[in-house]
Structures are given as structure tokens and as C-alpha cells.
Amino acid sequence: MIKHISFDLWLTLIKSHPEFKEKRARFLKNEFNPKGLSVGDIMGIVQKTDIVSDRLNEITGLKVPTDQMYRRILIQLGNAQKSVTDILLSQIKSRVHELFMANLPGFLNNSIHSMLQTLKNEGFTMNISSNTGYIEGSTIVETLGALDISEYFVFCIFSDEIGASKPSIRFFSEVFEKVKVEKTEVLHVGDNFKADYKGALKFGFNALHIKNQQYTINDIKRSL
């Protein structure tokens, strides 16, 4: 019997604000763009860097540091490697954090909030189990509060904070150490077939692969 539900975050519970990525690219264009690339070109570089990093994370089970991701972007924009200092990267992340919080993500669908409330009312404990990319765990925690859903989760596991990514055994071990129930009593829910579904099953959890963004609590309950 399922007692605890582990939720992936991106494209499982929330999705990016439609304007955030363009505003981030525009910031990079205006401040760190020696080659004079367009906003569209920069968005493409940011996306490609994210995809490559995600693949490395899935293959190695580790986490490409966010600083390293931004360093690669800035160099591709034409910035000299020696100019990309740790202080500069920290300033960039701080500015991106401000942009992100001013352009908050939205729920994946209109039933997410009520679904979490119902599951809590029915006695299930829940947590967030999220791989991170440009947006680090500390920002996500602040976002959960801004979206008024922090209360539903007893803990959060973020790849940047533990240095491990789904689908690695190490990531799911971090979840298991905190849930205080048997593996067979945990259901992990996520949209990524390899990282969420296969990774959770390999570790010994139950798993639900989210294929439809309009899923509801009924889809969850069929796996309980």
C-alpha cells in the first residue's frame, strides 16, 4: 500500500512562465554579448546547453554545476574565459533569480493544487524530487512558497544540493533515507520516462509516468 508520494517538479507539477526564458536571454544579450547575437540565437544556446547538461546528468548520475552551464554560455557569446569569474557568475545567477521570481512558473494544469490538497487530506505524505538546471533548489523552495504549495511537502531533494541526478540510485537513495517507509510504499510521479519512471522502478519504488499534462488525481489514484 502506498504511503508516500515523491513528485518530480518541472512538467509534473509546474511549467515555466511563458516570458521568462526570453527575458533571461534578453538580459544576457544586453550585458554579455560581444558577438552581437540575437535573442533567438541566445535562447538556442541556452537550450542546447541545458539539453547537453541534462544528458550528462542522466548518463553520469551527477549534476553539471549551474555555474559551469552559465560559463559555457558566456564563452559561446564571445566572452573571454578569463573574464568569466566566480563573482560574475554569482551576479548573473542573482539577476536570473530576480527575473525568475518576477515571472513565476504556473501550475501544469488547473487541478494540481486541489490534487495536492486532497492527497494530504487523505493522509499521504509527499516530497519534491527534482533534477535542477539553471534554477537551483534554493530558488525552487522560494517558488513553492510563492505558489502556496510548500505545506504539502515534508522535504525536497534537489540535484544541485546533493550532487546527484535522477535516474541514479544515489538520488533515489536520498529520497528513501527521508521517507521512513518501505520502498514498496513509495510512489514516484514524473514526466521523464528514463529519469523518473525507469529510475524509480530500478531503485524499487513504484512509479507513474505522466504522459498527459492534463492529468488529474484519478490518474494518481490508479497507482495507489
Predicted confidence (pLDDT) per residue in 182-191, tens digit = 999 999 999 9
Residue matched to cell numbers 544528458: 55
Distance of CA 204 to the CA centre of its chain: 22
The dihedrals phi and psi of 196, each to the nearest 5 degrees, come to -90, -55
pLDDT at 140: 98
Helix (H) or strand (E) holding 202: helix 199-203
Helix (H) or strand (E) holding 97: helix 86-102
In whole angstroms, give the CA distance from residue 60 to residue 182.
27
In the chain, how many H helices and how many E strands? 10, 7
pLDDT at 125: 98
Amino acid type, 11: L
Amino acid type, 220: I
DSSP secondary structure code for residue 209 in this structure: E
pTM: 0.96
pLDDT at 66: 98
Find all residues with CB under 8 Å of 14, minimum gap 6, and list them. Answer: 105, 106, 107, 108, 112, 143, 147
The dihedrals phi and psi of 105, each to the nearest 5 degrees, come to -60, 165
Q: Does domain 4-15+106-221 have CATH number 3.40.50.300?
A: no
Q: Provide the pLDDT confidence category of residue 171 given band limits of 50, 70 and 90.
A: very high
Residue pLDDT, tens place only, 42-89 = 999 999 999 999 999 999 999 999 999 999 999 999 999 999 999 999
- Sign of the C-alpha dihedral computed for residues 89, 94, 100 and 103 taken in this order: negative
